[in-house]
Chain A
């Protein structure tokens, strides 16, 4: 290679662990997240094996409770929330806005260290004996009754929260201040709009989680009961505070996925995203209205009727912008020149799975049906359709799409397509039966269950086995390609975005000369060839 790129500037460990290059930090995050993903996945595997039979014959109830708690905490805070923003986002945002780095590179590195500190604290809590409160930390169980490492696990999540905040802050400021000349707001790729919306939530919701966890830890440590019913405290206050963060956190997890899908759909249809402004503003609408719906987790908790009505109403409203996005993606395909490379397969899978997840969300927003469905497997199936079917699928799609840019190598298209198809089938087999289980009334977090639910559980466990294998496949073919794959050209997909106009992998400061943007994103000419944003 004649020129050096960000991977070849320096090979020392120091150059990686003290780097302020957003691309290298993205790689650090990527490696950490794979680690956490497989830990959380391992817990899920044991859970699914256990649930293949109605009796509790593999692990004890205490172990089972620790397993699903660990699965939830690791997957939510140490995989899903940082997944797309901190890996793909970190790598792509400065390239997409034509900047040499994020606004605060050292803060970016610090955020990774904070994240790792939080992750290690949580892992320590898990391996020291575990935590059995569920990822929701509901009081008074977590504060007065649980005999597990609640404070330590909460501390881990608390610490990781600061990493979220710093990432969000960095993205917001970078997108405001570091855009290349000519890159107006309506010329931003939609991935950036969705990451901007995500960052708003990260910055404004995470601190509420921080203070809530702090109150939990204080209550547990000092025995003062701010949520303790015995001195007049209200456990529902905890739930309000918790869901003020945790419902918007769902949008933290899905919005970046939606952002990726825009890039994929447009590139592989060789067409502009239909209704650009609607899709862009829909992201911000989801971020804003997403803050007004948290009480739909509490319809049967004893909150007031008025509150339930308002929250149910808002929950229906927040579904509108999501619907807008799905319709616009579908319309984008119209009269395109569709190529079904692996990223596109993931994108199409995302649309289907996300729509099922979104529609079943309406069931749960619907007051009378939620009374039956809440806290059953219906909820489990619903949010896995959004989180795994939506977010993880989009993450894999984005990863395949930008892989040549990140590593400078091409992966095996055959293996990638096979994995995409297998993931799609494994996923549906795992989680669709859970809708039926939930509708029939099987509560969630059950270690032992009545035998009539077994058929669907066996199907689900079988699907989980396929899904687990399918998730392992990319580890091998992507891992192989990173070292031995053929060299990638700068723009293997012939896409118009700024990130494709620099070499693969990009040089240390991204662009040899400052790009000047002259047109809207996603432009293709009559012959379906990309028209670069900066030409």
Chain B
């Protein structure tokens, strides 16, 4: 409610953005109190002690431990309070909820390409259902971009060379700005788009109406054969390579004795840098696909391997 009293202020539209707005209001109030006090004192002193004014100037004080310790301690306590508040909201924002919808985002100079698991692709737009957490898996093809939705008070840089997860959730249907917030070259200011939040039913309709392209996982499966991955990882191949059925989301023992969870990042790295993390009891034979597959193809492969998660090897 209090947000409506601030002119020009659009309230945030996700569960967390309310907390961010509250934090913002807290910061504003704290600043206003400090500024108000300061300006009051400055004005008071400037008026009372101006050179033309006859007033009591005896007993001037040059230093005072009490005051110094007082305002140092007060600022310290105030600042620490703000730190704790800000950090706790931050943790809340980046918490991963269960049951998510995955959407892939590829950033490149100067557009956002988004892709739903069913294969529906969008450019500079992203349709999402309301009140449902959506996990964005973001990658950049070239330079650093930053995925910024002011209405959700959320942004994250997309650094080339790695996947970046970001959870979003929109409370109310509508159209909201999507900006690139990290300077990325000539058309940086043109790298903007729209987040379209819809009621779940509308969203399903929308998905169904999109050009029927094959689901990402299916395309990934085709790539899997095209690129020759199935030659080694497939059933009954002569080369001994780890089977990929049921791998996703499970711990994988590595040759150096450690284990990793086979998430998106791990699979991506295994395709690009296959010999950095060797699965225990396998030979490091796989060639690197660095430079041979685009980010678009990579995410299809990842989706495909993910779709194998349910099957047992």
Contacts and interface: CB of A to CB of B under 8 A. Distances in A.
- A–B direct contact (CB < 8 Å): yes
B233 to A, nearest CB: 24
Contacts of A368: 19-20, 23, 85-90, 92-93
A229 interface: yes
A140 B93 contact: no
A307 interface: no
Interface stretch (A29-37, A195-203, A325-333, A471-479): A325-333
Contacts of A448: 189-190
Interface in A339-396: 339-340, 348, 351-352, 355-356, 359-360, 362-363, 365-372, 374-376
B16 to A, nearest CB: 8
Contact of A375 (B88, B92, B148, B291): B148
A215 interface: no
Interface stretch (B177-185, B235-243, B248-256): B177-185
Given A275-B63, A441-B179, A62 B186 contact: yes
A333 B45 contact: yes
B148 A441 contact: yes
Interface residues of A, number: 88
Interface string B137-172: 000001110101011011111011110100000000
B49 A229 contact: no
B50 A340 contact: yes
A3 to B, nearest CB: 33
A335 B54 CA distance: 11
Interface in A34-70: 56, 61-62, 65
Interface stretch (B71-79, B119-127, B197-205, B222-230): B71-79
A336 interface: yes
B154 to A, nearest CB: 6
B268 to A, nearest CB: 12
Interface in A431-469: 436, 439-441, 443-450
Interface string A60-100: 01100100000000000000000000000000000000000
Interface in A105-163: 132-134, 136, 138, 140-141, 144-146
B38 interface: yes
B21 to A, nearest CB: 9
Interface stretch (B27-35, B97-105, B211-219, B299-307): B27-35
Nearest to A348: B42
Nearest to A138: B144
A337 B79 contact: no
Interface centre among A138, A234, A375 (most CB of B within 10 A): A375
Interface of A: 56, 61-62, 65, 132-134, 136, 138, 140-141, 144-146, 229-230, 232-236, 269, 271-272, 274-278, 300-302, 305, 308-309, 312-313, 316-317, 319-320, 323-324, 326-328, 330-331, 333-340, 348, 351-352, 355-356, 359-360, 362-363, 365-372, 374-376, 436, 439-441, 443-450
28 contacts: A62-B186, A65-B183, A132-B185, A133-B183, A140-B142, A232-B161, A271-B60, A274-B62, A301-B157, A302-B162, A302-B164, A313-B83, A316-B82, A316-B83, A334-B49, A338-B49, A348-B46, A352-B42, A355-B34, A366-B82, A366-B83, A367-B87, A368-B85, A371-B90, A375-B155, A447-B189, A448-B190, A450-B177
| 9 nearest A-B pairs in the assembled complex, by CB-CB distance | A441-B150, A229-B161, A366-B86, A368-B89, A367-B90, A333-B45, A446-B189, A316-B79, A375-B181
